[in-house]
Chains A and B, each alone.
Chain A
Amino acid sequence: MRLNVNRKTVTVNAHPLTRLLDVLREECGLTGTKEGCGEGECGACTVLIDGDPVNSCLVPVAQVQGARITTIEGLGGTHPLQRAFVEHGGAQCGICTPGMIMAAAALGPRPSLDEIRIGLAGNLCRCTGYSAIYRSVQRAGKR
């Protein structure tokens, strides 16, 4: 099967019902996408599919053939959100951070606080209490 991951075409050899999460981590070597619960509750495995945030643990890989998949690696490390999460304490242990940033990236450039709270409601963070994440997303928008 051919996938479009981070603007590159990759060929994977997986059962069509394999979770996208496992294909990304184990076949593509993109371990930035994390597994926290495996049932779509924690959002640690959030990736963008055609620009929309999706829990990759709930997606059989067959469903994303031909779609644009963006993982945290696709942001390149210098995305304003990534910088802002470092500078403003948006990441503590870091396990939720890739998913959190992907969900935040889908919010557009200058989301309001309410838009951030609602947009990130599917991403659990156990470290920060979310406040530093809001600050990070807001500051990233101001760059």
Chain B
Amino acid sequence: DIRYNFDRDGFTIVDYRDIPGRNVVALIDEDQPSLAATRVRHVAEPILLLAHSDRTRLAAAEIAITCKETQPNFDPERSDVSFKSIAIDKGQLDRGMAGADVIVEGEYRTGHQEQLYIEPNGVVAVPEDGGVTLFGSLQCPYFVHRALTVLLGLPPEKVRVVQTETGGGFGGKEEYPSMIAGHAALVAMKSGRPARLIYDRVEDMLATTKRHPAIVRHRTGVKKDGRLAAMDIDVVLDGGAYATLSAVVLSRGMIHASGPYRCDHIRARGRAAMTNTPPNGAFRGFGAPQTQFAIEAHMDVIADRLGIDPLRLRERNALRPGDTTATGQTVGRDCSALQVLREASRRTAFSKKRRTLSGSNRGIGLSLFFHGSGFTGGGEVKLASKASLALTERGVQIRVGSTEIGQGTRTMHAQIVAETLGIPYDDVCVSVADTASVPDSGPTVASRTCMIVGRLLQRCAEDMRARLGRLTPAAYWKKHGGFVVTRQYEKPPGLEWDDETYRGDAYGSYGWACDVVEVEVDPVTYQATPVAFTTVHEIGRAIHPILATGQIEGGSSQGLGYALLEEVVMRDGKMANAQLTNYIIPTTLDTPPMTVEILENPYSHGPFGAKGVGEMPIDGPAPAVVNALRHAGYVVSEIPATPEKIMSAALKRPR
């Protein structure tokens, strides 16, 4: 029952009956309506859209909506609806367990995390010639383009999506912009006027997607000397109320769940379960931070049980070139697990520090981790991304659907093109990510913008170089006029993936990294503060070392927030601390000095050897922090490791 307790004059009011196309936010599964028709599954589900030219009148409008309530479920383990289930089997678990000397079990939990881009989600829709042009703060213009054609029932050429300068994304502007773009477009189409929809911070935090909470259980068979004999892993992700990207988040999480380790016998089971909170979705790392938190915290539990140094345990088990991952992928010469581990421990004098800090309020911990670059499995083949280079009057123009969201897309792409063409950097310009003028290069996600799209641009530049002959772009333009070259993704030879059995080459390449963090615990308040942070990242090739370092420092800082500060408090399925006053992200004073070292072990199919870098940094800090806490005497297996959790660990400690 809906009651409008205000004068509706001058208002545009839209509900589900105004949707000309299909009432879905088109993504993977088309289960999420743009506007609820008869039932809502979570507190932030959109029902009605109100628009007015006067903001004061809009703010004063009051609507009463009465719903009949049924029992909601907020516990993913009690949910009987799974958006996706995944099984990975390698070798024979029972045989592996039978050969183990010790079996170590553990349960690890991670909470929601809000992306907290400083610019909230926002779009402007402009009605044009029976269609719509949408300007927005977003990562993936073609995702929004598709969502709008489906919702509005328009042919592709009637919808144009233009990315505006975007104040941060981190995954939070991967799928959610499709939702509000639809809303603004519906208002614009109905009113015949431009419509602006910008979430304020509270709305953004209440309604938009967050990192999936996870429960991960490990049962690991190990030999006395520390070798991993068998790994039994169970993963549950809280998907929230609609499927969004949960299936692929789970997929990446599962593939990274056994960590960068060699083990012949692995059984991993995972599911993304429906609950009645707002849907969870993409966030930098995409499932891998949750599962690698679990395995890396578990490795220190194993080390303790066996009485082995955690560094030695990882050295013994780290993947080497020629070893196989959980999905049976043979890692090549670009595997650097051992190198990053040894370099990080050498730089920090890890073992010595561990001895000297023993018994103090400080602890030191490390984490070894990896991150697959590009879409998982056959994803890149399905995407079939394109990139173009145009020779124009003003020079060489890059035309890609990839977006600049702060990670340096434009700079790095222009460098790749300039270097390949042998022309000055300033002679290359980058087109706005506008679906009317750039091809679909796939979404700007999954650490793929350099390795995949950058490689396509390198190929385009090679083609353009061949066509230019000995001429400069300007000389060629004068003589022959302009032209456009386009390249489409081609699967590197030998890369095979079977989505049915989850066997094969899950990613073209992996980055490898090791974090070492020193944490000090205040014995009175139980507040843990990271005081020193060192990371070694192997990323193939740093196209722009300053920008690559910025990705690593920034991602690590978000990871430290995930580890210690960032707690989404859910009450009755609603975020209770949806504001920056009490959802705490790291400030300058919470972020320790960082030492970043980049190693380069080139990937043969990346541009100049580059792999992905954007996401990997967020995988490592949380387990390193928890391992440092463990070293300091506080056994915590759930993040964020707030003072309350550390205090309860202290109380459980044998005296």
Contact = CB atoms under 8 A, between A and B. Distances in A.
B contacts with A: majority SS: loop
A95 interface: yes
Given A126-B117, A129-B555, A132-B550, 8 more contacts: A37-B580, A118-B588, A118-B589, A126-B585, A128-B554, A129-B586, A130-B553, A130-B588
Contacts of A39: 201, 579-581
Give the residue among B166, B168, B589 with the most A Cβ atoms within 10 A: B168
A38 B201 contact: yes
A contacts with B: majority SS: loop
A84 interface: no
Contacts of B579: 37, 39, 41
A41 B581 contact: yes
B593 to A, nearest CB: 8
A116 B591 CA distance: 13
Contacts of B547: 89
Interface in B535-569: 546-547, 549-550, 553-558
Contacts of A92: 168, 406-408, 550, 554
Given A93-B406, A95-B167, A124 B118 contact: yes
Nearest to B115: A126
A46 B212 CA distance: 33
B553 A128 contact: yes
A95 B117 contact: yes
Nearest to A134: B588
B309 interface: no
**B-side interface size class:** 35 or more
Interface of B: 115-120, 165-170, 200-201, 405-408, 546-547, 549-550, 553-558, 579-581, 585-589, 591, 593-594
B406 A127 contact: yes
A21 to B, nearest CB: 12
Contact of B405 (A36, A44, A93): A93
Nearest to A132: B550
Contacts of A38: 200-201
A83 B638 CA distance: 43
B118 A44 contact: yes
Q: Which 10 A-B pairs have the closest CB atoms?
A: A93-B406, A95-B167, A129-B557, A41-B580, A92-B406, A129-B553, A36-B118, A93-B168, A95-B118, A89-B546
Given A89-B550, A127-B168, A95 B589 contact: no
A120 interface: yes
Contact of A126 (B118, B408, B550): B118
Contacts of B117: 93, 95, 126
Contacts of B115: 126
A130 to B, nearest CB: 5
26 contacts: A34-B119, A34-B167, A36-B580, A39-B201, A39-B581, A41-B579, A42-B118, A89-B550, A92-B554, A93-B168, A94-B406, A117-B589, A118-B589, A120-B588, A121-B588, A123-B588, A124-B587, A126-B117, A126-B168, A126-B554, A127-B406, A127-B550, A129-B558, A130-B588, A132-B546, A132-B553
